[in-house]
Amino acid sequence: MKRLRASILQNSGAFVGAVLLLASCSPKETPPTVAATNNPPAPTAPILAPATNSQSSNPVAADIVLTPEEAKQHVGEIATVRGKVFGVSVSQKGDVFISIGAKRPAPFTAVCFKQAIPTDQLKALDGQTISVRGKIKDYNGQVETILEREEQILK
């Protein structure tokens, strides 16, 4: 046993420490377990923070519905704006501007360029209360959402 210990002492490393530990046990003892230290920690699920309406921390505020007047405080976010349509106008180029919340200047405008949605469908919204979903933008002081698909309009 002394020879075994002497030869083990000449070597170095974690393996040697484990062998010494085993050699020092009496035959009836069970050697203690040695925890592995080279294993990486087990992966954990990410912790998700609750949604906020702040521009800096959450550009996608999917669960909020805003009034046309509130929309200006949420520029840069994706949200739903709900209000009454007070007018639908069509430019010479065919772009459609839907005034929501009041007559011009409206607190919020839904804009549809290049007839992405049929003009007749958009004109039919005049006088109705609708919801529009999209990224809220500020274009020269006018708060708006660009409509690219019919699915962005909820009646």
Note the pLDDT of residue 90: 96
Q: How far apart are CA 46 and CA 129, in angstroms?
A: 40
The model's pLDDT over 128-144, given as tens digits with 9 standing for 90+, comes to 999 999 999 999 999 99
Q: Is residue 49 part of a domain?
A: no
Residues 66, 140 within the same domain: yes
Number of domains in the chain: 2
CATH code: domain of residue 102: 2.40.50.140
The model's pLDDT over 25-43, given as tens digits with 9 standing for 90+, comes to 445 555 555 555 555 555 4
Note the pLDDT of residue 19: 41
Note the pLDDT of residue 32: 54
Residues 8, 77 within the same domain: no
Residues 97, 131 within the same domain: yes
pLDDT at residue 12 greater than cutoff 60: no
The model's pLDDT over 79-129, given as tens digits with 9 standing for 90+, comes to 999 999 999 999 999 999 999 999 878 999 999 998 899 999 999 999 999
Residues 98, 26 within the same domain: no
Residues 24, 79 within the same domain: no
Residues 110, 79 within the same domain: yes
Residues 16, 83 within the same domain: no
Torsion, Cα 124 129 135 139, to 10 degrees, reads 70
Q: Is residue 52 part of a domain?
A: no
Q: What b/e sequence results for 104-118 when a residue is b if at least 16 CB atoms lie within 10 Å of its CB, and e otherwise?
A: eebbbbbbbeeebbe
Q: Is residue 73 part of a domain?
A: yes
CA atoms within 13 A on the CB side of 27: 1
pLDDT at residue 6 greater than cutoff 60: no
Note the pLDDT of residue 114: 87
Q: What's the pTM? A: 0.60
Full residue range of the structural domain in which residue 117 is found: 60-154
The model's pLDDT over 57-68, given as tens digits with 9 standing for 90+, comes to 444 445 689 999
